[in-house]
Amino acid sequence: MIHYAIRRLLESLALLMLITLATFVLISSAPGGPSILIDPNMTPEDTERLRAIYGLDRPVWEQYLRWLGQVLQGNLGVSLGVGRPVGELIADALPATLLLSGASLLVAVAVAIPLGIVAAVRRNSWIDRVLTTVSFFGLSLPVFWYGLMLIILFAVLLRWLPAGGMFTPGQGSVIDVALHLILPVIALSTSLMAELVRYTRSAMIGVLRQDYVRTARAKGVAERAVIIRHAFRTALIPVVTLLGLLVPRLIGGAAVTETVFTWPGMGRLAVSAAYNQDYPTIMGITLVVSVTVIISNLIVDLLYAKLDPRVRYG
């Protein structure tokens, strides 16, 4: 198990290098260039001077090596758009994203897993059909539209909730943040819920058909215990895989939701960095998200052993 983990870690480092190199080459070859060099008030002479000051006139491989050297010293560089250290920008954005995505995941899991079990157990009943249909809708709702509708209804027309931001300037009490959290959490958890309901349902249906479940029932185990202790534990394996895949998505931030609701998280930081072709920030976010993906995949793999005794690592 330890050997396995170490080997996976080493492979991951190589993978990380590849990801960052590919990202760097891709963004450097995108047409345009950083926004700070495209200000219409700047003359071409000023643009050239700034390009040299920021080292953007160097060959791409040299810029990459310079970036890599910085990163190895724990320095992610300075944003070309907002002029602040990238490490600070990410440190500021990460808690906001964790709050939003954590709350959404919690809501989604708390609602979707029980619903998925109910849908599986009462398969083909009216409740199953309603759940399946509703979750289908949830999956298909585009967040940029759905989020805007939530804002128009609850913020513009009813004025019950704020239209955007994480807190009211100058306030920021727990209640204030909670009020700002409601709409984005609804928007973000809807599709998560839909995905989880469908996943849990199909995993449970598969397991409920298995011989050992029939055996448990035949032995007279209470139905509740059959479902929770025998079936659900096995059904959790694919659900945990899905959650493992969702975590990096949540850390990377929900770009659309965060943009629509002006949530100061990683997703919006990434959108604005991409829009401004702010190379250091794009690279910093790529690095953080890649590391998260790799680590959470590793954790999921290791968790399998806990959930499924048949899985062994060599």
Partner 1 sequence: MRRLAATCAALACLAPVTLPAQEQTSGGTFSLPINDDPQIWPVAGGLYNILVNKAVYSALVRYDLETLEPVGDLAESWEVSDDGMTYTFTLRDGVTWHDGEPFNADDVVYTINDVWTNPDVPFYLANNFRLIEEATKVDDLTVEVKLSQPQPSLPVLLGYNAMILPEHLLGDLSPQEMVNPSEFLQNPIGTGPFEFAEYSPGSYVQLEANEDYFDGAPYLDAMTFRVVPDANAQLSMLQSGEIDLVVIEPFQLESVEGNSAIQIQSVPITRHEFIALNNDVGALSDPAVRRALTMGLDREQLLQAIFAGRGQVATGPFPPTMGWAHDETIEPLPFDPDAAAALLDEAGWVMGNDGVRAKDGERLSFTMLYDPSNPTRARTALVAQQQWGQLGVEVDFETSEYRAIVTRIRQDPPDYETNPNYLITPPDPDGVANFYLSDSLANSWQYENPEIDRLLNEGATARDRAERAELYKQVQQIMHEDQPNVFTVYPDEIQALSTAVERFPEAGYRDALAWSHLISKQ
Give the interface with partner 1 as residue ranges (CB under 8 A). 30-33, 35-36, 38-47, 49-50, 53-54, 78, 81-85, 88-89, 92-93, 96, 148, 151-152, 155-156, 159, 162-167, 169-170, 172, 259-262, 264-265, 268-269, 271-272, 275-277
CB of 182 to partner 1, least distance (A): 14
Tokens of 197: 């309901």
The nearest distance, CB 83 to partner 1, in angstroms, is 4
**Residue 81 or 244 with smaller CB distance to partner 1:** 81
**Structure token pair of residue 145:** 């539209």
Is-contact 256 144, C-beta < 8 A? yes
User: Considering beta carbons, is residue 69 or 172 the nearer one to partner 1?
Assistant: 172
Cβ 35 to partner 1, closest distance in Å?
7
Q: Output 46 or 57, the one with its CB closest to partner 1.
A: 46
The nearest distance, CB 39 to partner 1, in angstroms, is 4
CA pair distance 107, 185, nearest whole angstrom: 8
Position of tokens 């984005």? 184
The CB-of-81 to partner 1 minimum distance in angstroms stands at: 6
For partner 1, the closer of residues 83 and 309 by Cβ is: 83
Cα–Cα dist 93/89, whole Å: 6
Q: How far is the CB of 77 from partner 1 (least distance, A)?
A: 11
Burial of 47 (0-12, 13-18, 19+ CB in 10 A): middle
C-beta of 69 vs 114, nearer to partner 1: 69
Between 47 and 297, whose beta carbon lies closer to partner 1? 47
| Smallest separation, CB 218 to partner 1 (Å) | 58
Q: For residue 263, count CB atoms less than 10 angstroms from its CB and return exposed for 0-12, middle for 13-18, buried for 19 or more.
A: buried
Nearer to partner 1, 170 or 314 (CB): 170
